[in-house]
Chain A
Amino acid sequence: MSKAKQRGTQVVTKTSWKNAFKRDWQLYLLVLFPLIMVFVFSYAAYPGLRMAFMDYKPARGYAGSEWVGMATFAKIFKDADFIRALRNSIIFNVLDLLVGFPMPIILALILNELRYPRFKKVSQTILYLPHFLSWAIIGSVALTMFKPSSGLVNIVLMALGVIDEGIPFLNESMHWSVTYLLIGVWQSMGWGTILYLAAITGINGELYEAAMIDGANRWKRMWHITLPGIKSTVVTLLIMNLGRVMGSNLERLKAFENTQVKEVQYQLAVYIYNKGIGNGKFSMATAVGLFQSLIGLALVLISDRVAKKLGEDGLL
Chain B
Amino acid sequence: MIRGIKKGFTKVFMLYYDGFRTMTIGKKLWTIILIKLFIMFIILKIFFFPNFLKTKFSSDAERSDYVLEQLTQPNTN
A and B are partners in one complex rather than unrelated chains? no
